[in-house]
Amino acid sequence: MTEVFRDGLLTGKTAFVAGGSSGINLGVAQRLAEAGAKVAIISRSADKVAAAVASITDAGGTAWGTACDVRDYAAVDAALAATVERFGPIDVVVSGAAGNFLAPVVGMSANAFKTVIDIDLLGTFNVLRASFAHLAKPGASLISITAPQGERPQMFQAHACAAKAGINMMTKCLAMEWGPAGVRVNAVSPGPIGDTEGMARLAPTPEMEKTIKGRIALRGYGTKRDIADMVLFLASPAAGYVTGAIIDCDGGSVLGDAGGDALTVRAR
């Protein structure tokens, strides 16, 4: 997919990536910078933010960042304002901060459930809601990072499933409210992505990893680049008539268990 994007697709544009200091979202921030955008990164850890910014500037890109917890609306608003001051009105917002752990509901305190809802769902509300006043309108593109679990239930993931389902619906509501202002609002739903904190937590053993890979239609984990390219597409004019969409970039994960190899062989 990468080849269809020419260098400089986002030259002169400003991007803001919440939760962009590691994993999938860092890959997104790096990809947007590679396409020419000036990129702002926020997450809680100042050290992680500094390393993420350095990974972009060392490669010749333009980036800046600040420590910020997406659960704190005023802090998010201040980070957005600082971004505009430095780089100009914001063209692309990515909301990807998340927290997760495997826990059955009876092993989950009310505060444990609330913590994931607050980071993922309220945090995404804060980032998107606060961004509106700082956007380059018309033309801005807002992209949240959701998950197949927002549509498909999973054991021991009640908190994350509920949060991601909320993000999906909020994406559609905001697309309706902000479309008339020329603001597109979409979400990308990554399937299991290799070499991430998320999969280290959700499939901590080689056996679990093998089982999950065997159930995905395309057989295997995706890469951070897969997600970064999809976000770049939504950020770009190529997606100029796309809003309110939850785009699956998941190898078919959301379709369900495609592990019926024995049946497949018999059907041939």
Residue span binding ligand NAP (CB under 6 A) among the ranges 4-12, 80-88, 194-202, 235-243? 194-202
Q: Does 188 bind ligand NAP (CB under 6 A)?
A: no
Which of ligand HXC, ligand NAP, none does residue 111 bind to, with CB < 5 to 8 Å depending on kind? Answer: ligand HXC
Region 77-106 residues binding ligand NAP, contact defined as CB under 6 A = 96-99
Among 149, 171, 236, 253, the residue binding ligand HXC under the rule CB under 6 A is 149
Question: Least Å distance between CB 44 and ligand HXC?
Answer: 7
Residues in the chain: 268
**Residue 166 in tokens:** 């909320």
Residue 213 touching ligand NAP (CB under 6 A): no
Residue of 223, 230, 204, 124 lying closest to 167 (CA atoms): 124
Task: Please give the biggest Cα pair distance in the chain.
Answer: 63
Paired strand residues for 90: 135
**Non-local CB neighbours of 118 within 8 Å, separated by 6+ positions:** 71
Q: Which is nearer to ligand NAP, 90 or 216 (CB)?
A: 216
Minimum distance from CB of 63 to ligand NAP (Å)? 14
Q: Which of 20, 65, 96, 99 binds ligand HXC (CB under 6 A)?
A: 99
Helix extents (H) in the chain:
23-34, 46-57, 73-87, 110-116, 123-131, 158-178, 197-202, 206-215, 224-235, 261-267
* Residue 70 near which of ligand NAP, ligand HXC, none (CB within 5-8 Å, type-dependent): ligand NAP
How far is the C-alpha of 105 from the C-alpha of 60, rounded, in Å? Answer: 46
Residue 111 found at the interface with ligand HXC (CB under 6 A): yes
Task: Tell me which residues in 179-198 interact with ligand HXC (CB under 6 A).
Answer: 197-198
Here the tokens at position 180 are 């008339």
DSSP string of 107-150, one letter each residue: G--HHHHHHHIIIIIIHHHHHHHHHGGGB-TTT-EEEEE--GGG
By CB under 6 A, name the binding residues for ligand HXC: 98-101, 103, 107-109, 111-112, 115-116, 147, 149, 157, 160, 164, 197-198, 201
By CB under 6 A, name the binding residues for ligand NAP: 19, 21-25, 43-45, 48, 69-71, 96-99, 119, 123, 145, 147, 190, 192-193, 196-199
